[in-house]
Chain A
Amino acid sequence: MAKKDRSPKLDRRRFLTAAAVAGASGAVSSGKAGAATAGTAEAPARLPSALPPNAHVAAAEAGAPDVPPYASEGRPGSDFMVDVIKTLNIKYLPANPASSYRAIHESLINYGKNSMPEFLTCTHEECGVGIAHGYAKITNKPLMTLCHGTVGLMHATMNVYNAFCDRMPVVILAGNDLDAAHRPPGVPTVHSAQDINAIVRDYTKWDDTPVSAQHFAQSFVRAYQIATTPPYAPVVLSLDDGLATEPVRDFGQKLYIPKFVPTAPPAGEAGAVREAARLLINAERPVIVADRAVNTQRGMNFLVQLAELLQAPMVRERGRLNFPTTHYLGRPASVIAQADVVLGLELTDYWATVNKFVDNNAEGVGTITSTIKLGTKLISIGTLQLMTKANYQEFQRFQSVDVPIAGDVEATLPALIEAVKYALTDDRKNMIGQRGEATRKDHEKGRDATRQAAAIAWDASPISTARLCAEIYAQIKDLDWSLVPSSGDVSGWPLRLWPMDKPYHWTGTSGGYGVGWGCPASVGGALANRDEGRFSVAIQSDGDLMYAPGALWTAARHKIPLLSVMHNNRGYHQEVMHVQRLSNFRNRVANLGNDLGPVGTSIMNPDIEYHKLAQSMGWWAKGPITDPAELGPAIKEAVAVVKSGQPALVNVWTQPR
Chain B
Amino acid sequence: MMRSVYLKTLYDKRWFIFGWTLGFAALSVLMATFYPAMHQDGTLDALVASMPPALKGLVGSLADLKAFPTYLGSQLFDIRIPIIAGVMAIILALGLSTAEEERGELRTFLSLPISRTKLLLQKWLALCTIMAMTVLGIVAGLYASMPFIDGASIEFETLARLVAMTWLVMIAFGTVTFAAGFASGSRATANTLGILVIVGSFILSTFGQAVDWLGDFEKFSLLHYFPAVEIAKGTIELRDIAVLSGVTVVSLLVAIILFRRRDIA
Do A and B bind?
A: no
Residues of A within 8 A of B (CB): none
